[in-house]
Each structure stands twice: as structure tokens, then as C-alpha cells.
Amino acid sequence: MSAPLDEFSPVFAIAVAAELAGMHPQTLRQYDRLGLVSPTRTAGQSRRYSMRDVAQLREIASLSAQGLNLEGIKRILELENQVAALSGRVRELEHALADELLARPGRRVFAAGGSGEVVSIKAGSRVAKSNQVVVWRPLRRG
């Protein structure tokens, strides 16, 4: 049995992807040459596009209609892909941290103290709040 399909599964031939994106197949070839959208290749070197590729083609069309040139669009797509990758990495690290905290109850954690210093505290507790009053008075010019 094959793997389930998702948005990254390369299933569309160039003619179908072009129709879904509302573009000419030659435009898709040009975007592939420029590195804007890089479809998967079959053993015979035919292009296969995923739903993610089609969505990216639609985004390119939208950005182009707003007046951006292809080099600007390429930079935007690179940055969006970088943000997505970094967001995924943050989620991974958050899960790893949560797993670690659950696996080792009672370990110490760190927090910021009242004046910005790092304070070690027991997990599940809070830093004691300061009851100091700070009065601010503007400097007199004279």
C-alpha cells in the first residue's frame, strides 16, 4: 500500500498544474528554470507538481499582479520558506522541552529576577515578587 497523499505529494503533470494555477505550461517551465517553483522529477525527468507547488504558483501570480518582479518574488518565497522551517524547528524544540520537563519533575528552571538577573527556581514555583516602590521624578531644568 502506498503512502497517504498530502500537500507535498507530487501528483500533477505540468498541464494539470498549469490549469490549476491558471497559467500556461511554458510559464511553469520558466519558473522552474528560475528556481521559483521546483517540482519533483519522475524517472523520465517529467515534472510532477504537488498541491503546495500549485499554491506557490498562485502566490507568484498574485505577487506579480501586484507589480513585484520575479527576483523580488523569489526573495519573498525564500523568506516565507525559511520562516516555515524555523517555525517547525521552534515547535520541535517546544515539544522536546515539554517532554524533558515531564520526564524530570522537580528539576530547576530559570526565570528573570526583579532587576533582570537570572534566577534558578524549582519547577512549578514562581519568583517572589518585590514589594519595593519606585518613585520617578523628572529632572528639573534650570
Name the residue ranges covered by the structural domains of the chain.
7-67, 71-125
Q: CA-CA distance, 16 to 25, in Å (whole number)?
A: 9
User: Which overall architecture, per CATH, does domain 7-67 show?
Assistant: Orthogonal Bundle (1.10)
- Give the long-range contacts of residues 103-110, CB within 8 A, separation 24 or more: none
Q: Which residues contact 126 (CB under 8 A, 6 or more apart)?
A: 111
pLDDT, position 43: 92
Percent of the chain clearing pLDDT 90 (strictly above): 59
Which residue bears the cell 515547535? 91
pLDDT score of 136 more than 80 = no
Q: Cα(88)–Cα(85) distance, rounded to whole angstroms?
A: 5
Convert the pLDDT of each residue in 51-102 to its tens digit.
Answer: 999 999 999 999 999 999 999 999 999 999 899 999 999 999 999 888 877 7
How much is the pTM?
0.63
